[in-house]
Amino acid sequence: MGDAPQRRSARWMLVLVACAGAGTMAVELSAVRILAPWFGTSTGVWSNVIGVVLLALALGYYLGGTLARASAPGLQLARVLLLAALGAALTPFLAAPVAGLFLPSDLTLEQLTPLLHWGSLATSLLLFLPTALALGCVCPLALEIICRAGGGSAGNAGGRILAWSTLGGLVGTFATTHLAVPNLGLRLTLLLAAAILGLPGLLLYLVRNGPRREPALFIVALPLLALAPVRLGNAPPAGWEVLEERLSALQNLRVVKRADTDLRLLQVNEGLDSFQSVWQPQAGLLPTGYYYNYFAAPAWWSRARGQWNVLLLGAGAGTAARVISGCLPQGATAAFVGVELDPVVLELGRRWFDLDSPAQATDSMEAVVGDARAALQALGREGRRFDQIVLDAYANQSEIPAHLTSLEFFREARDCLGENGWMMANVGAFGLADPLVEAVGHTLATAFQRPVLALRVPFARNVILVARPQDQAPEPGSESWPVRALAEILGPLEVPGTWRWLDPLDEAPLTDDRSPTEMLQARSLELGWQL
């Protein structure tokens, strides 16, 4: 073989491995999003998906090496690419039946926690292992073809293949997360990945094996799959109707409405019985059991007059703002800065949750897209000070991001509070002795150098932490505690055992360096069900 055909063959193989790299990352990143409606996107689910893909790639490399001994590695390469394409294209159709094998219906999010880990592992193995295994075969086969064509030493060819495969993966990573999933949706993203893998595989098949009927089916099947109806994600709970569903770059979102009332919820990923934001037609206190109600108390305790400045870290669709704005003391107006990581949440908030329309015409909402910690630092640098900071940021439904529970974060928050300011944090927990509440509460107390009040929310599994930089929060049952306008929510907290103080410690349990929040949350769920 002459030099030119060798170079052409090598270049062709490098294009193929780049496509395989891009396809691998598209499948892996889509895999997490495909599983999200059932199992969420917690660190455990990510670990399962990455683990399965790594296992499949390792097996694929081994299998590819064995297939490379065959007399026609080109044909084998075409077959594995077509198989991988088929796997990617069928994944959206198989997701619901496979995930449904492991998840019983009608159980709550925390009851299902053990299944979220094992179920996501089993579903990942069944759904993604075959596709990723086929993709793993690509590099060894391509290497064999280049070496047989005399395209240099194994080391040289291997280096080029790894470089192109990794570059393809890089492009696949960014394109999937930032372009394909938000704009095309999951099904079309996976079909696009199937096309990127399948079309070069098809060409290679035709070149190596001559015209055949079987691969032509692929050309017909792909558009048909694109048109076929498929529902990704679990159905809304009985009695709820879906108003809008969106895929953002970060999560799957759904706005649902109860058929018999005007109550709307924003659900994220696995959702189940939990939600991110809630809306009712009238602003102000929500029905019993919604923790947002407690964010209204500081303005009353401070006897606010004039402008009450509130920073919402994890603003969601604006529920906390509507609650606070709807029950401010007379003579007070609220100016909110709401920080939310996901811009699509803000879009949905504007459309369905009156995000930009707080209860009073004089109140204002400045919605900011960004990370809560980065936004807090930026506001601090600008010299902005707030009367109240509300931390209500969750990742993956049930995990408070570690960087928002550290000593350093709470110190930054303290520096952004006015002298008589209030810091409130929502912690999903089973009680006041919950390990997560203790860790976050003691960290907050250590940062503020004052005891922190922990309040259990009745009819809910949430604890609200209250801290002040210059003073202590009023003790339930004390003279400064009751507020007539909020008696409905503050009264139940006069019961002994429904609140406690958490003191500053010499050493904060959670820091930027060491923050085992995921472990604490797992322990919290474990203890919570030992009734």
Partner 1 sequence: MTWAWGLLLVGPSLGLPQDSIEDLMSRSEVGAALATADQMTAHLDRTSWRVHVLHRAGWLDLALAEARDGLESFPADTNLLDQAGWLAASLSAAELTNDISRRMASVESDELAWTAKMERVAADGRRLSLGAADLRSGLRRAYLACATTLALVLVGLWRLGRS
Report the interface residues with partner 1, using CB under 8 A: 55, 59, 62-63, 66, 101-104, 106-112, 114-115, 118-119, 121-122, 125-126, 129, 273-276, 278, 287-291, 394, 397-398, 426, 428, 431, 456-462, 476-477, 487-495, 497-498, 531
CA distance 294 to 271: 23
Residue 235 Cβ vs partner 1, minimum distance, rounded to whole Å: 17
290 vs 410 by CB, closer to partner 1:
290
217 vs 495 by CB, closer to partner 1:
495
191 vs 429 by CB, closer to partner 1:
429
For residue 356, give the amino acid letter: D
77 vs 278 by CB, closer to partner 1:
278
Residue 66 Cβ vs partner 1, minimum distance, rounded to whole Å: 5
- Please give the C-alpha separations between residue 418 and each of 310, 387, 452, in angstroms, as whole numbers: 11, 6, 17
Residue 149 Cβ vs partner 1, minimum distance, rounded to whole Å: 25
103 vs 190 by CB, closer to partner 1:
103
267 vs 515 by CB, closer to partner 1:
267
Find residue 196's DSSP bridge partners: none
245 vs 475 by CB, closer to partner 1:
475
Residue 456 Cβ vs partner 1, minimum distance, rounded to whole Å: 8
- Please give the C-alpha separations between residue 49 and each of 34, 99, 191, 268, 499, in angstroms, as whole numbers: 11, 14, 19, 19, 40
CA distance 14 to 4: 15
SS3 336: strand
Residue 245 Cβ vs partner 1, minimum distance, rounded to whole Å: 20
SS3 69: coil
DSSP state string for 477-523: TSTTS--GGGHHHHGGGGSTTSEEEE---SS-S--SS---HHHHHHH
Residue 113 Cβ vs partner 1, minimum distance, rounded to whole Å: 10
218 vs 430 by CB, closer to partner 1:
430
431 vs 516 by CB, closer to partner 1:
431
Find residue 247's DSSP bridge partners: 252
Residue 291 Cβ vs partner 1, minimum distance, rounded to whole Å: 6
Residue 404 Cβ vs partner 1, minimum distance, rounded to whole Å: 14
Burial of 431 (0-12, 13-18, 19+ CB in 10 A): middle
Residue 2 Cβ vs partner 1, minimum distance, rounded to whole Å: 35
Given the structure tokens 């395209």, which residue do they identify?
151
SS3 309: strand
Find residue 277's DSSP bridge partners: 266
326 vs 476 by CB, closer to partner 1:
476
Residue 144 Cβ vs partner 1, minimum distance, rounded to whole Å: 16
- Please give the C-alpha separations between residue 195 and each of 73, 180, 225, in angstroms, as whole numbers: 21, 13, 11
SS3 104: coil
H helices of 302-434, where?
319-326, 343-352, 372-381, 407-415
Find residue 333's DSSP bridge partners: 307
100 vs 504 by CB, closer to partner 1:
100
Q: What is the enclosing helix (H) or strand (E) of 257? A: strand 252-258
Residue 461 Cβ vs partner 1, minimum distance, rounded to whole Å: 5
Residue 266 Cβ vs partner 1, minimum distance, rounded to whole Å: 11
253 with 348: CB under 8 angstroms? yes
Find residue 52's DSSP bridge partners: none
- The encoded tokens of residue 468 equal 């002040």
Residue 457 Cβ vs partner 1, minimum distance, rounded to whole Å: 8
361 vs 531 by CB, closer to partner 1:
531
492 vs 516 by CB, closer to partner 1:
492
DSSP state string for 191-252: HHHHHHHHHHHHHHHHHHH-S-HHHHHHHHHHHHHHHS----SPPPPTTEEEEEEEE-SS-E
- The encoded tokens of residue 100 equal 């449904």
Rounded to 5 degrees, what are φ and ψ at 503?
Answer: -90, 160
